[in-house]
Amino acid sequence: MSLASTINDLPDEILETVIECTDWRQGCRGVCRRWRKASDGSTQGLELRSTAPAPFCIDATFPNIKSISISLSEDEDGDASALLAQLQELSRLGDLSVSRGPVGNLTSLSLLTSLHTLTLASCDISEFPVSICEMSSLKRLALGGNKLETLPEAAVGHRLASLEYLDVSSNRLSALPSTLSALTALTQLDIQDNKIVELPAGLEALQQLAMLNASINK
């Protein structure tokens, strides 16, 4: 088997090393190093740039992955639900970021029980994903730049009591749920660029709150 055919069989994420290198031999060595690191399970961060499922088994190739960033494209057909479903066996995944594109069904996210940071930015979300409520370890949640009109009281409350950071900026919210006062670990709350005219009663219970951004609400 030729070197060219072997390289062509590698995933796009690995081939980017070759593209970024001006010297072909240096690029090939970079591919080999990257692939060995992936194969021995030591890779901890991964970036994907498509809504399509990854062309390899993510949990088998990256069993110890702790951080994944997915940059979508509004020009692509479909959503990222199939790609996100590939992540449900990643028991050590702690940080997941998805941006700039439709995510579709998020039910599979409820299985990511070790997740402590979740970003779903500009993902065309119009309803609060109830699967987030199953993430008992979640400390940072960013849902900025979506189309949320309400935050359900049953979701934003004791079931997310570990939250320390909540960003719902640049949505379509006109009010906040009274159960927000149950997020007693919250230190930062960003609600800017919505339509909120009044804060809910009980926010004085958030004794740890150090930053509240409520600008540009009308």
Q: Which pLDDT does position 54 carry in this prediction?
A: 77
Query: Which DSSP letter does residue 123 get?
Result: S
pLDDT of residue 136: 86
User: How far apart (Å, rounded) are the C-alpha atoms in residues 37 and 34?
Assistant: 5
Q: Select the more confidently predicted residue: 113 or 151.
A: 151
Higher pLDDT among residues 32 and 78, named by residue: 78
Residue 29: its pLDDT value, please? 58
Indicate whether 214 pLDDT > 70: yes
As a whole number, mean pLDDT of residues 81-89 equals: 90
In 56-187, the DSSP E strands lie at: 67-71, 95-99, 117-121, 140-142, 165-167
pLDDT at 35: 57
Position 26: which residue type?
A: Q
pLDDT digits (tens, 9 = 90+) for 23-32: 545 555 555 6
- The pLDDT, as a whole number, for residue 62 is 80
pTM score of the predicted model: 0.81
- The Cα 84–Cα 93 span in angstroms is 12
The confidence band for 116, taking pLDDT boundaries of 50, 70 and 90, is very high
Quick count: other Cβ atoms within 10 Å of Cβ 199?
Answer: 15
pLDDT of residue 21: 47
Tokens encoding 77: 């057909």
Q: Which of 207, 110, 201 is CA-nearest to residue 159?
A: 110
**C-beta neighbour count of 194 within 10 angstroms:** 21
Average pLDDT, the chain: 83
pLDDT band at 6 (very low <50, low <70, confident <90, very high): low
pLDDT digits (tens, 9 = 90+) for 123-143: 999 999 989 998 989 999 999
> Going from the N-terminus, what domains does the chain have, and what CATH number goes with each?
1-40 (no CATH), 44-213 (3.80.10.10)
